[in-house]
Amino acid sequence: MAMNDHTLLVEGEADRGFFEVLCRSLELEARVEVAPPRRFGAGRDTKQAAFNILPMLLEDLVDREDGRLAVVVDADNHAHGGGFLRTIEQFSNKVEDYGYRCSNPNRTPPEGSIFHHDDGLNDLGLWVMPNNADEGMLEHWLAQCLLAEEQPWFDHASRVLDELPFDPKFKPLHRPKAEVATWLAWQERPGEGLYNALDAGLIDKEKPLYRALADWLERIFPEPGLSD
């Protein structure tokens, strides 16, 4: 399936819901489609699936005069085949074949990676959760962007997991997901997804990490008529 003119590719449905709310809060939702790999025919929604469909999306992108694409994936854990450096290397190898080169290849960019095109097409964006440097995932980003009054609740959720009287069923690398899910379960609307952290106003929009992500999105998807 063809991509929208302006597409934000994410790993899965939980991420899609979160970024749809974030794009709406930034007034980007009217021109940006947030989509996981299955939207484009992939068999499942994962980081690897997102990377696997990149060639198809890039072929579509280079045929458009004003197409824009950004990708958000988790760094995950180096011990499990992930990590920031491995993730950005894998992405760079995919996009270089289509004329895209990283604008800052020799440093880790806390503001998100920007890839310029040899022929002057619109920039391609990559954000590696949580902060374009450390191992982790979207849940780590959330934990670093909480309102101050939410921190005691989140800390208590973490202690609850520490004090379980039996071994947890989730894998250790998924603990951040369990912490965020537990914290969200104590909000006014328990059972909601990650998007509720934004919908319910639980995120501090003045935190540097929030502003960095918001600024990156607004740079990749500027208002019509504005230059980069």
Contact between residue 72 and residue 47 where contact means Cβ atoms under 8 Å apart: no
195: pLDDT strictly greater than 80: yes
198: pLDDT strictly greater than 90: yes
Report residue 166's pLDDT band, with 50, 70 and 90 as the boundaries: very high
How big is the chain, counted in residues? 228
63-111 pLDDT, tens per residue?
Answer: 877 899 999 999 998 666 678 889 999 999 999 999 999 877 655 567 8
Report residue 227's pLDDT band, with 50, 70 and 90 as the boundaries: low
* Range of lowest pLDDT (71-80, 123-132, 138-147, 210-219): 71-80
Inter-residue long-range contacts of 25-29, CB under 8 Å, 24+ positions, other chains counted:
25/198, 26/214, 26/217, 26/218, 28/217, 28/218, 28/221
What's the whole-model pTM score?
0.93
For the packed helices 151-162 and 175-185, what is the interaxial angle rounded to 10 degrees? 120
**Domain coordinates in residue numbering, the chain:** 6-137+208-220, 138-199
pLDDT given for residue 2 in this prediction: 66
Contact between residue 141 and residue 131 where contact means Cβ atoms under 8 Å apart: yes
6-137+208-220: CATH number = 3.40.50
How is 119-130 classified by DSSP, letter by letter? T-PPPEEEEEET
Other Cβ atoms less than 10 A from the Cβ of 130: the count is: 24
User: Token pair of 178, please?
Assistant: 């369990």
Share of the chain above pLDDT 70, in %: 93
